[in-house]
Structure 1
Amino acid sequence: MTTVLAIDQGTSGTKAIVVDADGAALAIAEETVRPRYLDGGGVEQDPAELLDSVLTAGRRAVRAAGRPIDAVALANQGETVLAWDPRTGEPLTPAIVWQDRRAESVCAELADHAELVARRTGLVLDSYFSAPKMAWLRRELTGEGVVTTTDTWLVHRLTGEFVTDVTTASRSLLLDLDTVAWDDELIGLFGLDGERLPRLVASDEIVGTTDAFGPGRVPVAGLIVDQQAALVAEGCLTPGTAKCTFGTGAFLLANTGETAVRSRGGLTTSVAWRTAGGTPYCVDGQVYTAASAIRWLTGLGFIDAASDLDTVAAADADGVLCVPALAGLAAPWWRPDATASFTGMTLSTGREHLVRAVLEGIAAQVAEVCRLVADDLGAPLTRLRADGGLTNSRTLMQAQADLAGLPVDVYPSGHATPLGAAALARMALDPGLGLADAVGDWTPSRVFEPRWSADRAEEFRTRWLRAAQLGLEER
């Protein structure tokens, strides 16, 4: 029996789960990570806290499982970067989080190269991705050591190796999407000539060994970006299948097969995973504020916790619309300067209407991404698989089904990301194991069918897009 410790190192916490060969959870441990939100759009994390959260959560989970592990898998944030000393492993800067907007000046300087960047990488020239943050860090913080995404540093601390997987690299703006190799021209464009970049590895590759989580050394494998890990876990293994993770933000990914589609609608394309079975791609759209918008509501006292959403939210928003752009708008607008707004309020508007409007605003952005994904795929989505903490809100999930006009299948586990990484690690230990067998079958915990007519959904979309556009024009 293969037992894997799968670690999901995220924005607001680290989750460690020990799973058996069938993907059943034997133990789970979580550690909180607290980002620092700074003036000027800065978002940072303490690297020592990140590492401690990985070690502590992993060791707690292994102890609770009460059995030896055969491998360690790691899913990561994707676009969070730091500088560190490759000789000692010590961090030289804070971790600059994917939400950080301070590298916008780097992108502005390279605006004339946006088309080249998009064509070569499948991404949009935006400070959301790694390379602008790396360039900003080199300009503003330090020229010492190496500058990499956090996965490379964490794996180095665990194994001594200097690697990153190709899904993470495909989120950097430094990778040629078609050749899946570092691109010297792009590296030079961002002023990163001469930087030591990590070796690119597959997600089913054993990259080293570690003794950080118990006696004896075990292989480290299953390296992958968190969103792609969830795509794997939810069985989106064929072209046209899609999932949305409702976490700090909402992230919708759709499998496009072996074709690296260049989006016509402002979405991005990345490597979905690389295994011995091939290198499929995915198109994706991001909504920057989902659970973070709910935390904002909590901070204002509208609700006490996310668990209150369904009891507080009105059955109808009574004409109130919310564009919850509390951290800007991502795909397809790519307007980091966008701000949130409520419209349609009257003296009769209560907190229940505002809560409902925020949930519908999140769902409206995801629905717009669904429409654009369908355009890029050349065929409409038929279902949407969903995971993440906010899937516990029936109000949000029903709004999602209504506005997207799609059935929404809720993943039965709150641990899609680490389960996807664990499946890839099992493939590394057993090269004869296919991905579908490693993932296994699953049954939705709930299915939400659309209740709104197509006309009603389109009328809402028209009003909501008008509100979003008005906000952008006022900036």
Structure 2
Amino acid sequence: MTQNNQYIMALDQGTTSSRAIIFDRNGKIVGISQKDFKQHFPKPGWVEHDPKEIWDSQSAVMIEVMTQQDIHPNQLAAIGITNQRETTVLWERSSGKPIYPAIVWQDRRTANFCNQLKEQAGLSEKINDKTGLIIDAYFSATKIKWILDHVEGAREKAEKGEICFGTIDTWLIWKLTGGEEHLTDMTNASRTMIFNIHEKKWDDELLQLFDIPKAILPEVKSCSEVYCQTAGDILNDKIPIAGIAGDQQAALFGQMCTEPGMAKTTYGTGCFLVMNTGTQPVKSNNQLLTTVAWQIGEEVNYALEGSVFIGGAAIQWLRDGIEFFGHAKESEKLAMQLEDNEGVYFVPALTGLGAPHWDQNARGAFFGITRGTSIAHMTRAALEAIAYQVCDVLKAMEKDSGAKTIEMRVDGGASANNFLMQFQSDILQCNIKRPKITETTALGAAYLAGLAVGYWESVEEIQQLWETDKTFGPQMDNSKVEHYLHFWHKAVDRAKNWIEE
């Protein structure tokens, strides 16, 4: 293959938008196209997407970015896919029609059922031992069960193998191949709560527990191999699909955190800290998740992960829900108007609290409000809250891994906010490194696909491409850090267990 005019396309299907990004051999962005799609909130705590709209937006940006850059399909060496994880789609095998809207990872409708499961003696431990996960409505298993229980005739069809389940990567591959391929990768499978990360297969005992027929499940593959080709009528050409990873694992790979102990945080809708733990899964004693980082060839790498449900979404909420400002980037300016937070704290538990608290019944709250409190104080409190949540997770990670973090690599939309990055460095008391290319989720998917087709020869070759844009070092003295964290933890304690069910 002549590679001078060859590119890799990454499909980055996120929670609020679908994107297609084309990369060259140097890992540089050649073109990018993005399309937002609608969020549906049918009841409090419910979050849904239209799977058809996800596909329409994703296929539109694929064509748009190629048209914009005048790139022909035969110039694409491969396609890599990265996706919002845990979001659950069920569709008819024969028609390809979804039987219910996609239930999004943020959705809390199965929280009560999860609480019932936790009350069963030994079950939490069993699920954690097998899957590395904590029983929570976040993961796919209870969403699948809910759809099968609530859509008329779904369970009977599922038993007969007439229904397909997929996380979003699986749905996109089904559509890209014209319904020919039903598959997923190790990282997405490891987020369903029905996949055994030690035996590397769907777990029969857990399938029985959640009443999920095996016939609906996709085949599980590695993260970097040629799985299939796009159908001829998609992009008018057959292009290899050769890389898949859930968004946070893709970002870990895109940040080249390939050695044990290396960590990254993605500041997106939520915040996701992931630390590479090498070829052995590390069991967490601090409410973190043990997950598959990636599988390349026969080798599986594992990671510890802590998920903050509301990260950048807190700023999105201030912008769209309360209309404090018109653009997210104005939050940085507002926060910098103040020397200090002046005692105002925000706990962004808008969909409960994730790691290390895992409180489904916590709710969002502002504390320390006085007559002098302004939009600037509340905006700063929301930005600081993102950093505090990341700090709580990283401290739990350090306890589990037994190592202190010297450096953390960052990416995602909110990593462009210099106030937030500096405050994060201060609160963590460690260096924060922001790379030149912050689209590391898409980059990770591109790297995995490129490795599979020989576009890049090795991981070592890719490591040479990683470049720092800016390093943030701690500037705040310890007593001030301790003061801030004291009041943050006081605020979190008061926001916990708010809902009584």
User: TM-score range with shorter-chain normalisation?
Assistant: over 0.9
Equivalent position SS for 1:110: helix
| Worse overlay, 61-70 or 28-37 | 61-70
Q: 2:160 matched to which residue of 1? A: none
SS state of the match for residue 373, structure 1? helix
Give yes or no for contact 1:235–1:441 (8 Å, CA) kept in 2.
no
Mapping of residues 47-62 of structure 1, within 5 Å: 47-62=51-66
Q: Specify the alignment match of 1:199 in structure 2.
A: 219
Equivalent residues in 2 for 1:402-421, closer than 5 Å? 402-421=426-445
Residue 240 of structure 2, aligned match among 219, 224, 235: 219
SS of the residue 1:207 aligns to: strand
Name the structure 1 match of 2:129: 119
| TM-superposed deviation, 1:181 | 1.2
Asked if 1:463 is matched to 2:487, the reply is yes
Matches within 5 A, 1:394-433: 394-430=418-454, 433=457
Match of 2:143 among 133, 136, 141: 133
TM-score scaled by structure 2?
Answer: 0.92
Q: 1:261 to 1:329 in 2, by over 3 A?
A: same
Partners of 2:212 and 2:482 in 1: CA distance = 46
Within 5 A, what are the aligned runs for 1:46-195? 46-67=50-71, 68-111=75-118, 112=120, 113-141=123-151, 142-143=154-155, 144=157, 145-159=163-177, 160-195=180-215
Shift, 1:439, TM fit: 4.9
Aligned to 2:330: 308
C-alpha displacement of 1:139: 0.9
Return closer, same or farther for 1:213/1:474 CA change in 2, 3 Å cut-off.
closer
User: How far 1:66 moved relative to its partner?
Assistant: 2.2
Q: Do 1:303 and 1:312's aligned partners in 2 also have CA atoms closer than 8 Å?
A: no
Partner Cα separation in structure 2 for residue 213 and residue 405 of structure 1: 49
| Contact residue 43 and residue 97 of structure 1 kept, 8 A | yes
State how 1:245-260 maps to structure 2 within 5 Å: 245-260=266-281
Please state if 1:34 is matched with 2:58: no
Give 1:231's match in structure 2, choosing from 233, 242, 252: 252
Q: Specify the code of the residue in structure 2 equivalent to 1:312.
A: L
Moved more, 450-459 or 354-363: 450-459
For residue 21 of structure 2, give the secondary structure of its aligned residue in structure 1. Answer: strand
Q: CA RMSD in A?
A: 1.6
- Counterpart of 1:233, as a letter, is G
Deviations 1:221-278 (A, max 9, x none): 1111011111111111101111111111111111010111111100101100000262
1:12 corresponds in structure 2 to 16
- Name the SS of the counterpart of 2:433 in structure 1: strand
**Structure-2 separation of matches of 1:83 and 1:171:** 16
Aligned pair partner of 2:357 in 313, 333, 336: 333
Residue 307 of structure 1: how far off its partner (Å): 1.1
Does the 8 A contact of 1:106 with 1:136 survive in 2? no
2:309 maps to amino acid: Y
Quick check: 2:361–2:497 contact (8 Å CA) kept in 1? no
Unaligned runs of 5+ residues in structure 1 are none
Secondary structure of the residue aligned to 1:270 is: strand
Change in CA separation of 1:208 and 1:473 when aligned onto 2, cut-off 3 Å: closer
8 A Cα contact 1:426 1:438, kept in partner: no
Q: Which amino acid aligns with 2:327?
A: A
Q: Percent identity?
A: 35
- Give TM-score, length-normalised by structure 1: 0.97
Distance in 1 of aligned mates of 2:221 and 2:495: 43
| Cα distance in 2, alignment partners of residues 86 and 268 from structure 1 | 32
More displaced stretch, 54-63 vs 363-372: 54-63
Q: Give SS of 1:334's match.
A: coil
Kindly state the Cα deviation for residue 325 of structure 1 after the two structures are TM-superposed.
1.1
Contact kept, 8 Å, 1:120 with 1:177, in 2: the verdict is yes
Note if contact 2:346-2:381 (Cα within 8 Å) is conserved in structure 1.
yes
Greater displacement, 459-468 / 245-254: 459-468
* Residue of structure 2 equivalent to 1:320: 344
SS in 1 for 2:329: helix
Which runs of no fewer than 5 residues in structure 2 stay unpaired?
Answer: 158-162
Structure 1 counterpart of 2:332, one-letter code: D
The answer to whether the Cα contact below 8 Å between 1:368 and 1:404 also exists between their aligned partners in 2 is no
Question: Relative to structure 2, which stretch is displaced further, 186-195 or 359-368?
Answer: 186-195
**Cα distance change on mapping 1:248 and 1:162 into 2, 3 Å:** same
Give me the whole-angstrom Cα distance separating, in 1, the residues matched to 2:233 and 2:58.
10
What are the superposed Cα offsets for residues 433-468 of structure 1, whole Å, 9 maximum, x if unpaired?
Answer: 222323543222121111122332223222211211
Give the distance between the partners of 1:202 and 1:474, measured in 2 at CA: 42
Work out whether residues 424 and 435 of structure 1, in 8 Å CA contact, stay in contact via their aligned partners in 2: no
1:303 to partner: Cα distance: 2.1
